[in-house]
Amino acid sequence: GAVVSQHPSRVICKSGTSVKIECRSLDFQATTMFWYRQFPKQSLMLMATSNEGSKATYEQGVEKDKFLINHASLTLSTLTVTSAHPEDSSFYICSARERVGQTEAFFGQGTRLTVV
Amino acid sequence: LAKTTQPISMDSYEGQEVNITCSHNNIATNDYITWYQQFPSQGPRFIIQGYKTKVTNEVASLFIPADRKSSTLSLPRVSLSDTAVYYCLVGGDTDKLIFGTGTRLQVFP
């Protein structure tokens, strides 16, 4: 299947700083990318959906000024957690769908963010 | 988006066949049914997808009855490495991917 690469896999940052997570589709062009976060023993919670070249659509309750999503190209989307706080510590996962008409999506390996 | 309902957890032993059923009573005409597997601290991995009847690949089978209001993921002869969380998702090609609670499968030796 198609490969989605997420980087970094693990990051520790100080409270108040910003962290950027990259999500790349390595062998296909992703028209749509999804960002999730997952707390221990819980399911994936959709944060936002982004389409290449347009603004991301955020789910209710997700602060768009805190979680900045950029989908600048068909192979790269970034999530920046701004002014991170300990409660933002979580597992963040991206997903990419290749084209309209495709229902299958491919997921990155995830990023474990720890804010200290 | 059709909501899905799955058992929270299931236990099995190595070598047994495991069937996980997902209910999706409000499935729409253009919705597909997709199953993902997730190991701890990893992103979900695609297992199988279907629209109707039966689909089989090298790792699993997916059974979908005629009314499509449910589906069953069948894992033949599970091993310890199949211990994971399994998610059933229902949606069309432009829909958001919304995850339900998933089924935590524990395989014992």
In a domain, B71, yes or no: yes
Number of folded domains in chain B?
1
Tens of pLDDT along chain B (109 residues) come to 668 999 999 999 999 999 999 999 999 998 999 999 999 999 999 999 999 999 999 999 999 999 999 999 999 999 999 999 999 999 887 778 889 999 999 999 9
The domain spanning residue B69 has which CATH number? 2.60.40.10
Using a CB–CB cutoff of 8 Å, tell me whether B98 touches chain A: yes
What pLDDT shows up at residue A102? 66
Q: Which domain holds residue B81?
A: 9-108
For residue A27, what pLDDT is reported?
Answer: 87
Determine what percent of chain A is predicted with pLDDT higher than 90. 75
Is B32 part of any domain? yes
Whether B4 is covered by a domain: the verdict is no
The answer to whether the CB atoms of B98 and A105 lie below 8 A apart is: no
Put simply, the answer to whether B97 touches A34 (Cβ < 8 Å) is yes
Amino acid identity of A29? Q
- The residue type at A104: E
Kindly state whether residue B97 falls inside one of the protein's structural domains. Answer: yes
CA distance A67 to A18: 10
The pLDDT mean for chain A works out to: 92
In a domain? residue B93: yes
Report yes or no on B2 lying in a domain: no
- The answer to whether the beta carbons of residues A59 and A47 sit under 8 Å apart is yes
pLDDT in tens, A54-107: 889 999 999 999 999 998 888 999 999 999 999 999 999 999 988 666 668 899
Q: Which among B92, B93, B99 has the least Cβ separation from residue A44? A: B99
Instruction: Give a yes or no: residue B3 inside a domain.
Output: no
Q: Is position B28 within any domain? A: yes
A105 and A97 Cβ atoms separated by less than 8 Å: yes
